[in-house]
Amino acid sequence: MGKLKLRSKDLENIGFPRKSKAIGLAINILNKHYKRINKTTALNILKRVVDFPDEFKTDPNWSTVVNDLYETEEETALIQEMTLLENAVAYEVFGRKNISSNAKQQMEVAMKLPITVGGALMPDAHYGYGLPIGGVLAAKNAVIPYAVGMDIGCRMCLSVFDISADFINRERYQLTEAIKEHTRFGEKVFDKPIMDTPVLDRKEFREIQFLKKFKDKAYKQLGSSGSGNHFVEFGIVEITEPDNDLQLVTKQYLGLLSHSGSRGLGANIASNYTKIARQKCFLPRQAQHLAWLGLDSEAGMEYWLAMNLAGDYASACHHQIHRRMAKVLGESPIAMVENHHNFAWKQRLENGQQVIVHRKGATPANLGELGIIPGSMTAPGFIVRGKGNPKSFNSASHGAGRAMSRSQAKNSFTGSQMRKELRKNSVKLIGGAIDESPMAYKDIHKVMAAQTDLVDILGTFTPKIVRMDRAK
């Protein structure tokens, strides 16, 4: 097979900055290392590099592309137009000893933005792009698309069924087959998505020109889940706190837990408005991904509406998943807990000031607010109730957090080691990959111990049947 017939315009159409060095680097890598793929597959790979750069930061081939992805000659010439604060705004760190130095350094940069009011690092924090994963940033009248993230409104949703926990062991085969049949991941979608959701009729799809072309894709992907660390799981819910706000007695139940976001809709919104922000807000190299949009600007107001639409779409996808599985079980859930991350909220501080709180890989933990913080495919997750701690801007972690990058995990563990860990914990895995190995994640118990000032624990969810995108 000859060289791929890729033009600069092809890459610009999927999000590469115009005339960027990254375009030439990417085409060279494809021609050298991906000689047997077609143009469509090549563009799919490149789109993932653009949309999820965190996954490729340490990849020996793609790291150079990621590092140069957003630079253009025009931006470089104007890069010093906006200066950072000399001293970083103070911020809280929860679980400091388990957070890498590069994540802290990245947070220091975010705390030097002229719009920054404050922030916090959650105990699951690790290095990301722009804001660390597990980072919380409060800003004045501005929203930072990359501090929200690519997978806008990514969320957890837990359904609790009035079915005894031993049902999983008795009906393991049937539940495994059901989760295979009634979930879709990555590029797989349902032939006939369920249409009983108002989110696809939202006026934003008509009134925001940029969004019009994504409605059909949003319809097709409705009720499906992303790749990477997204999952749908059957497991055991154990309520340990009698005063749990769920009206559940302290015992074990069958539970269904899902983790996914806004699919292609959110990724395209993030890419588009990040590009606009960078064209309007020139920052030094180390802060480029933190370009912001003023909420009193047209682009800022558009992004805010689009972000909220993507968040509601992500919620609708989860509800479709849970509705399908409830129908298979022949039971309606007796309780549901849902919370989301990769989002921005308007929030009023104790001094009365209204700020925009970005939570990238962090979740709201307002006083009395319920949430679910997952561990890994072999470690328990925790049902929690927020304490509304102002030091964290009413936030908590969104999970255990990665202890190592995807590339490090692939180079550190074997399939045999992963299967042994799954057997030890009696977990059935459908799909999945080495980079999602449970050993690649932080100890969830240490993460929870570091945020006792942020949340109370009401119960646990222990995975037993885990469905993820197929191994690559």
pLDDT of residue 195: 62
Query: What would the pLDDT profile of 163-221 be if each residue is shown by its tens digit?
Result: 999 999 999 999 999 999 999 999 898 887 666 789 999 999 999 999 999 999 999 99
Both tokens of residue 240? 């340990």
Query: Chain centroid to CA 151: how far?
Result: 5
Residue located via tokens 């031993």 = 166
| pLDDT value, residue 137 | 98
Distance separating alpha carbons of residues 172 and 76, to the nearest angstrom = 57
And the tokens for 371?
Answer: 């949430």
For residues 269-288, give the mean pLDDT.
Answer: 91
pLDDT at residue 37 in the model = 84
pLDDT at 16: 79
pLDDT of residue 5: 79
Instruction: Enumerate domains of the chain plus CATH numbers.
Output: 8-76 (no CATH), 155-467 (3.90.1860.10)
Smallest CA-to-CA distance from 283 within 129, 82, 116 is with 82
* Residue among 399, 231, 224 nearest 320 (CA): 224
Q: What is the pLDDT of residue 285?
A: 83
Q: Which tens digit of pLDDT belongs to each residue from 142-177?
A: 999 999 999 999 999 999 999 999 999 999 999 999
DSSP letter assigned to residue 333: -
CA–CA gap between residue 108 and residue 397 (Å, rounded): 19
316, 365, 372 from 462: Cα distances, Å = 24, 22, 12
Whether residue 135 has pLDDT greater than 50: yes
Please give the mean pLDDT across all residues of the chain.
Answer: 91
Q: Is the pLDDT of residue 79 over 50?
A: no
pLDDT at 122 over 50: yes
Half-sphere exposure of 286 (CA within 13 A, CB side): 13
3-state class of 261 per DSSP?
coil
- Could you give the percent of the chain with pLDDT greater than 70? 95
Tell me if 70 sits within 8 A of 17, measured CB to CB.
yes
Q: Say if CB 151 and CB 267 are below 8 A apart.
A: yes
* pTM of the predicted protein model: 0.84
Helix 21-33 vs helix 39-51: crossing angle, to nearest 10: 130
Q: Tell which wins on pLDDT, 101 or 285.
A: 101
pLDDT of residue 78: 39
**Each residue of 248-258: pLDDT tens digit?**
999 999 999 99
**pLDDT value of residue 76:** 40
> What is 206-257 written as a DSSP string?
HHSGGGGGGHHHHHHHTT-B-STT-EEEEEEEEE--SS-SS---SSEEEEEE
At 336, is the pLDDT very low, low, confident or very high (cuts 50, 70, 90)?
Answer: very high
Across the range 366-378, mean pLDDT stands at 97
Whether the per-residue pLDDT at 80 is higher than 50: the answer is no
HSE-CB at 296 with a 13 A cutoff on CA atoms is: 2
Residue type, 135: G
Looking at residue 81, what is its pLDDT?
A: 55
Phi and psi torsions of 33, nearest 5°: -115, -10
Which residues are 271's β-sheet partners?
A: none
Distance of alpha carbon 383 from its chain centroid, rounded?
19
